[in-house]
Amino acid sequence: MRYFFLAIILILYTSQPLQAQDRRGEPIVSASINVSASVIPSIELITVNSMTFPNLQPGQREIYVNPVNSLNAGFMIAVGMPNTEFRLNYLPERELTQVDGNSTLTFTYELSGNSEENQSTSELLELDNRNIEFNEEGRYYIWVGGRVNIENAAPGNYEGDFTIEIDYI
Protein backbone atom coordinates (compact mmCIF):
# COMPACT_ATOMS: atom_id res chain seq x y z
CA MET A 1 0.00 0.00 0.00
CA ARG A 2 2.86 2.35 0.87
CA TYR A 3 4.52 1.78 -2.53
CA PHE A 4 1.21 2.35 -4.31
CA PHE A 5 0.80 5.68 -2.52
CA LEU A 6 4.40 6.66 -3.38
CA ALA A 7 3.79 5.73 -7.01
CA ILE A 8 0.78 8.04 -7.10
CA ILE A 9 2.80 10.85 -5.56
CA LEU A 10 5.61 10.29 -8.08
CA ILE A 11 3.15 10.33 -10.97
CA LEU A 12 1.65 13.56 -9.66
CA TYR A 13 5.12 14.99 -9.10
CA THR A 14 6.40 14.16 -12.59
CA SER A 15 3.21 15.13 -14.39
CA GLN A 16 3.09 18.66 -13.06
CA PRO A 17 6.03 20.90 -13.98
CA LEU A 18 5.39 23.46 -11.24
CA GLN A 19 4.59 22.36 -7.74
CA ALA A 20 4.51 24.14 -4.47
CA GLN A 21 7.11 23.20 -1.93
CA ASP A 22 7.10 23.42 1.81
CA ARG A 23 9.89 25.11 3.85
CA ARG A 24 12.12 22.04 3.61
CA GLY A 25 11.82 21.88 -0.18
CA GLU A 26 9.48 18.87 -0.11
CA PRO A 27 6.69 18.93 -2.71
CA ILE A 28 3.21 19.61 -1.41
CA VAL A 29 0.56 17.39 -2.89
CA SER A 30 -3.05 18.36 -2.50
CA ALA A 31 -6.28 17.14 -3.94
CA SER A 32 -9.82 18.41 -3.85
CA ILE A 33 -12.94 16.38 -4.30
CA ASN A 34 -16.30 17.96 -4.93
CA VAL A 35 -19.21 16.08 -3.43
CA SER A 36 -22.82 16.96 -3.97
CA ALA A 37 -26.09 15.30 -3.12
CA SER A 38 -29.66 16.07 -3.93
CA VAL A 39 -32.36 14.89 -1.58
CA ILE A 40 -35.63 13.85 -3.19
CA PRO A 41 -38.63 14.09 -0.89
CA SER A 42 -40.64 10.94 -0.40
CA ILE A 43 -44.01 10.30 -1.98
CA GLU A 44 -46.97 10.18 0.36
CA LEU A 45 -50.03 8.10 -0.46
CA ILE A 46 -53.19 9.21 1.36
CA THR A 47 -56.25 6.93 1.43
CA VAL A 48 -59.35 9.15 1.43
CA ASN A 49 -62.00 6.43 0.94
CA SER A 50 -61.72 2.65 0.91
CA MET A 51 -63.44 0.67 -1.81
CA THR A 52 -66.90 -0.57 -0.84
CA PHE A 53 -69.11 -3.18 -2.47
CA PRO A 54 -72.76 -2.69 -3.40
CA ASN A 55 -75.42 -5.00 -2.01
CA LEU A 56 -75.56 -8.34 -3.82
CA GLN A 57 -78.56 -9.27 -5.90
CA PRO A 58 -79.91 -12.85 -6.02
CA GLY A 59 -78.09 -14.83 -8.71
CA GLN A 60 -75.31 -12.26 -9.08
CA ARG A 61 -72.09 -13.91 -10.28
CA GLU A 62 -69.64 -11.03 -10.22
CA ILE A 63 -69.01 -7.84 -8.32
CA TYR A 64 -67.54 -5.04 -10.39
CA VAL A 65 -66.49 -1.61 -9.13
CA ASN A 66 -65.57 0.67 -12.03
CA PRO A 67 -62.76 3.02 -10.96
CA VAL A 68 -63.77 5.65 -13.52
CA ASN A 69 -67.42 6.13 -12.60
CA SER A 70 -68.44 4.10 -9.53
CA LEU A 71 -69.13 5.87 -6.24
CA ASN A 72 -67.94 2.64 -4.55
CA ALA A 73 -64.38 3.04 -5.87
CA GLY A 74 -61.62 3.67 -3.38
CA PHE A 75 -59.99 7.10 -3.57
CA MET A 76 -56.35 7.95 -2.87
CA ILE A 77 -54.11 10.96 -3.34
CA ALA A 78 -50.42 10.62 -4.15
CA VAL A 79 -48.42 13.65 -2.98
CA GLY A 80 -44.90 14.33 -4.26
CA MET A 81 -42.73 16.93 -5.98
CA PRO A 82 -44.75 19.25 -8.26
CA ASN A 83 -44.49 18.59 -12.01
CA THR A 84 -42.24 15.55 -11.46
CA GLU A 85 -42.68 12.29 -13.34
CA PHE A 86 -43.23 8.98 -11.58
CA ARG A 87 -44.23 5.41 -12.31
CA LEU A 88 -46.97 3.50 -10.59
CA ASN A 89 -46.88 -0.26 -10.12
CA TYR A 90 -49.19 -2.79 -8.46
CA LEU A 91 -50.14 -6.45 -8.62
CA PRO A 92 -53.48 -6.59 -10.43
CA GLU A 93 -54.60 -9.89 -8.92
CA ARG A 94 -54.74 -10.46 -5.18
CA GLU A 95 -56.16 -13.29 -3.14
CA LEU A 96 -58.83 -12.45 -0.58
CA THR A 97 -59.13 -14.82 2.37
CA GLN A 98 -62.31 -15.63 4.25
CA VAL A 99 -62.10 -14.15 7.75
CA ASP A 100 -63.81 -17.04 9.57
CA GLY A 101 -63.10 -19.89 7.16
CA ASN A 102 -60.78 -21.39 4.57
CA SER A 103 -62.25 -20.05 1.32
CA THR A 104 -60.48 -17.61 -0.97
CA LEU A 105 -61.48 -15.31 -3.80
CA THR A 106 -59.29 -13.73 -6.47
CA PHE A 107 -59.83 -10.00 -6.85
CA THR A 108 -58.61 -8.28 -10.02
CA TYR A 109 -57.86 -4.62 -9.36
CA GLU A 110 -58.34 -1.73 -11.79
CA LEU A 111 -56.97 1.74 -11.20
CA SER A 112 -57.75 5.05 -12.81
CA GLY A 113 -55.90 8.30 -12.31
CA ASN A 114 -56.06 12.00 -13.01
CA SER A 115 -53.95 15.07 -12.33
CA GLU A 116 -57.13 16.84 -11.23
CA GLU A 117 -59.67 15.67 -8.66
CA ASN A 118 -62.25 14.53 -11.20
CA GLN A 119 -63.07 10.81 -11.25
CA SER A 120 -65.26 10.93 -14.36
CA THR A 121 -62.37 12.23 -16.51
CA SER A 122 -59.79 9.87 -15.00
CA GLU A 123 -58.17 7.31 -17.28
CA LEU A 124 -57.53 3.63 -16.64
CA LEU A 125 -53.94 2.99 -15.55
CA GLU A 126 -52.62 -0.07 -17.33
CA LEU A 127 -49.43 -1.78 -16.19
CA ASP A 128 -47.46 -0.45 -19.16
CA ASN A 129 -44.64 1.37 -17.33
CA ARG A 130 -45.67 4.74 -18.70
CA ASN A 131 -44.65 7.98 -17.06
CA ILE A 132 -47.23 9.85 -15.01
CA GLU A 133 -46.74 13.39 -13.69
CA PHE A 134 -47.72 15.12 -10.47
CA ASN A 135 -49.67 18.35 -11.03
CA GLU A 136 -48.49 21.87 -10.08
CA GLU A 137 -49.47 21.23 -6.45
CA GLY A 138 -47.59 17.91 -6.37
CA ARG A 139 -50.76 15.79 -6.38
CA TYR A 140 -52.07 12.89 -8.45
CA TYR A 141 -55.53 11.40 -7.81
CA ILE A 142 -56.13 7.63 -7.94
CA TRP A 143 -59.39 5.66 -7.86
CA VAL A 144 -59.34 1.93 -7.06
CA GLY A 145 -61.89 -0.58 -8.32
CA GLY A 146 -61.93 -4.03 -9.80
CA ARG A 147 -63.84 -7.28 -10.13
CA VAL A 148 -64.30 -10.55 -8.31
CA ASN A 149 -66.19 -13.69 -9.35
CA ILE A 150 -68.52 -14.76 -6.51
CA GLU A 151 -70.27 -17.59 -8.33
CA ASN A 152 -68.80 -20.31 -6.06
CA ALA A 153 -67.95 -18.13 -3.06
CA ALA A 154 -68.70 -19.35 0.43
CA PRO A 155 -70.76 -16.88 2.48
CA GLY A 156 -68.77 -14.71 4.84
CA ASN A 157 -66.38 -11.79 5.06
CA TYR A 158 -63.16 -11.70 3.05
CA GLU A 159 -60.07 -9.57 3.46
CA GLY A 160 -56.81 -8.95 1.66
CA ASP A 161 -54.08 -6.39 1.09
CA PHE A 162 -53.48 -4.17 -1.89
CA THR A 163 -50.15 -2.43 -2.40
CA ILE A 164 -49.31 0.39 -4.79
CA GLU A 165 -45.66 1.24 -5.44
CA ILE A 166 -44.83 4.73 -6.71
CA ASP A 167 -41.29 5.70 -7.75
CA TYR A 168 -39.82 8.92 -9.09
CA ILE A 169 -38.25 8.66 -12.53
**143-153 confidence digits (pLDDT tens):** 999 999 998 88
Judged against a pLDDT cut of 80, whether residue 87 lies above it is answered with: yes
Question: How many other CB atoms are there within 10 angstroms of residue 58's CB atom?
Answer: 4
The reported pLDDT for the residue numbered 128 is 78
Average pLDDT over every residue of 67-85 = 96
Please tell me whether the overall predicted TM-score, pTM, comes out greater than 0.85 for this model.
no
For 104-107, which contacts have Cβ atoms below 8 Å and span 24 or more sequence positions? 104/158, 105/148, 105/149, 105/150, 105/153, 105/158, 106/148, 106/149, 107/146, 107/147, 107/148, 107/160
Residue 16: what pLDDT? 46
Per-residue pLDDT band at 117 (split at 50, 70, 90): very high
Q: Which residue has the higher pLDDT, 161 or 24?
A: 161
- Residue 93 is predicted with a pLDDT of 94
**How much is the pLDDT for 38?**
65
